[in-house]
Amino acid sequence: MAPKAPKAPKAQPKAPDPPEEYPTISAKLQAEYLASRPYQVLKDTKGLSNLSASEKAAYANYRFLETGVWKTWGAAQQKEFLKTVETQKIPTPLPLPRDLGRDNKGREIASYTPEGFAQFRKKERQLSGLRRESARFRERREKARRKQKGRGIEDSEGEIEDERNRRKFIGVLQGKKMGIYEGDPRWDDVVPIPQDDGEGALAAIAYSDEYAEAMGYLRAVMAAKEHSPRVLDLTEHIISMNAAHYTVWLYRASTLFALEYPIDKELSWVNEVALENQKNYQIWHHRQLLIDTLYPTISSDPTAIHALETSERDFMTQMFDQDAKNYHVWSYRQYLVRKLNLFNTTELQSIEVLLRSDVRNNSAWSHRFFVVFSDPAYCTPGSAATAHDPRIPADIADREIGFAKAATFEAPQNQSPWNYIRGVLRKAGRELASLEAFAEEFVKLPSESGEGEDVRSSHALDFLADVWAEKDETAKADTALRLLGDKYDRIRRNYWEWRRGLLDAGVEGKMKGLSVEDVS
């Protein structure tokens, strides 16, 4: 629909009044376009044959103007023509409005209001001004950097701050925030190396812009083998998004060492990260690396070692408050016990604290076994957890059995101490049967008439089945296994039945006997 045609044209139509308001800029431009062609509009609405003679003449002159034919005429003729155009008040036809395209949000710019469009243009002008300035800033610094051969260019803090703000402003104006590194002039000398994912990517992740950008910069500094304070910030940033990155930790460590960064400062940072990333695994290796580096510097100073021992134990206590069975923390703890030679009563006591709050904490039981049976003071070096160690003193074995026994009385259905007891017996080279009476505290088999059955722990029953098989009391062993499958441990019925089958075949006792390994 063409907008209103100019008012009933007289012989000499005037340029129309400026229109009051247009809903969009494209409507306005379209109207201006038409307004610059009054005779075209006139002809289109009335039809050529209905035009008056003067109108027809004006239309013809307008056509000459529009097509530019008049420019091919002789000078005199041109002069004459322009004069006529003036007297007939034929406006110069504007070119067809160009396609305005879309803005960065994908909206048609043509659909802007004229006012909005004016603002848009203003913003664009502002943006290109800022971009020019920013480009000049970069060039200037780049030049300075080249002169200095890459080392320490002197920056005016003020200038940098200005540029940082400029980029922030550019981000606001372009409606797309500038990346953290892209917006920071201090990183201008680094050329990010973006990921090359391409077609056919498996498990492609919708990376955040933040991660994608930071990763590009990390790749670049790693390639340049840059070890500087800002690398610490960058690695920290990456770690906060992808703590399982298997090389960023190594790179961070090498940077720390290159900078001779204070280890205790790094340790307290690592504490925070660990508390936030319970499941992370790399962080504990990083910590080991730190301790490995720190240790030689303090190894001759017992006070310093003791202080480290205490602070590390405190930190682990904090970790255990969140999850007392965190596998990585326990791994680290074993490392530390070996490193600082913590086979001592303080260590045993701190495990007991954990067991008092949760007697089912199998990790703590496991750690206790390690501390007791790897103590270089009395253990055979390198003796496996599953092997008999003849050097274990009898009183140590007694103490451990006593400790585990107490726990079974506290919670008979807790498998941890039952496993522990078996482990201690094997270490000490004692027979299961040596604890038959103890296990029977929890188990009364039914009499022939089926009376008096009382089983308070399936694990005790399990233990006794092994004891009796060991002693060739097959009938009793069979009863124990049958009770387990039918009644006290029904989940594992298939297993207990299989064990009964082995018992029948006479393999059970032999199997135990043969498989308990003696490592020399």
Binders of another protein among 329-348, rule CB under 8 A? 330-331, 334
Burial of 512 (0-12, 13-18, 19+ CB in 10 A): middle
Q: Which stretch binds another protein (CB under 8 A): 6-14, 31-39, 93-101, 200-208?
A: 200-208
Helix crossing, 345-357 with 302-322: angle to 10°?
10
Helix crossing, 248-259 with 282-298: angle to 10°?
20
In order of 7, 256, 339, 401, the CA distances from 248 in angstroms are 75, 12, 25, 46
Restricted to residues 414-473, the positions that interact with another protein (CB under 8 A) are 414-416, 419-420, 422-424, 426-427, 456-458
What would the x/- binding string for another protein be over residues 133 to 152, using CB under 8 A?
-xx--x--------------
Using CB under 8 A as the binding rule, whether residue 267 contacts another protein is answered as: no
Nearest approach in angstroms of CB 416 to another protein is 6
Restricted to residues 297-326, the positions that interact with another protein (CB under 8 A) are 325
Nearest approach in angstroms of CB 347 to another protein is 14
Write phi, then psi, for 449 (nearest 5 degrees).
Answer: -80, 0
Using CB under 8 A as the binding rule, whether residue 125 contacts another protein is answered as: no
Closest CB to another protein among 30 and 174?
A: 174
Using CB under 8 A as the binding rule, whether residue 192 contacts another protein is answered as: yes
Restricted to residues 471-510, the positions that interact with another protein (CB under 8 A) are 486-495, 498, 507, 510
Furthest C-alpha separation in the chain: 139
Closest CB to another protein among 46 and 177?
A: 177
Long-range Cβ contact pairs of 377-384 (< 8 A, separation 24 or more)? 377/343, 383/519, 384/517, 384/519
Using CB under 8 A as the binding rule, whether residue 237 contacts another protein is answered as: no
Q: How far apart are CA 186 and CA 315, in angstroms?
A: 36
What would the x/- binding string for another protein be over residues 244 to 263, using CB under 8 A?
xxxx--x-------------
Of 447, 449, 515, 520, which lies in the binding site for another protein, with binding defined by CB under 8 A?
515
Of 36, 61, 363, 479, which lies in the binding site for another protein, with binding defined by CB under 8 A?
363
Using CB under 8 A as the binding rule, whether residue 275 contacts another protein is answered as: no
Closest CB to another protein among 99 and 517?
A: 517
Nearest approach in angstroms of CB 489 to another protein is 5
Restricted to residues 48-87, the positions that interact with another protein (CB under 8 A) are none
Q: Which among 323, 333, 328 has a CA at the least distance from the CA of 280?
A: 328
Write phi, then psi, for 463 (nearest 5 degrees).
Answer: -60, -45
Of 159, 197, 301, 314, which lies in the binding site for another protein, with binding defined by CB under 8 A?
197
Using CB under 8 A as the binding rule, whether residue 356 contacts another protein is answered as: no
Restricted to residues 382-401, the positions that interact with another protein (CB under 8 A) are 384-387
Closest CB to another protein among 94 and 191?
A: 191
SS3 (DSSP) at 320: helix
Contact 59, 42 (CB under 8 A): yes
Using CB under 8 A as the binding rule, whether residue 193 contacts another protein is answered as: yes
**Non-local CB neighbours of 512 within 8 Å, separated by 6+ positions:** 466, 469, 470
Using CB under 8 A as the binding rule, whether residue 204 contacts another protein is answered as: yes
Using CB under 8 A as the binding rule, whether residue 182 contacts another protein is answered as: yes
Place of tokens 């048609």: 108
Q: How far apart are CA 147 and CA 149, in angstroms?
A: 5
**Non-local CB neighbours of 499 within 8 Å, separated by 6+ positions:** 465, 481, 508
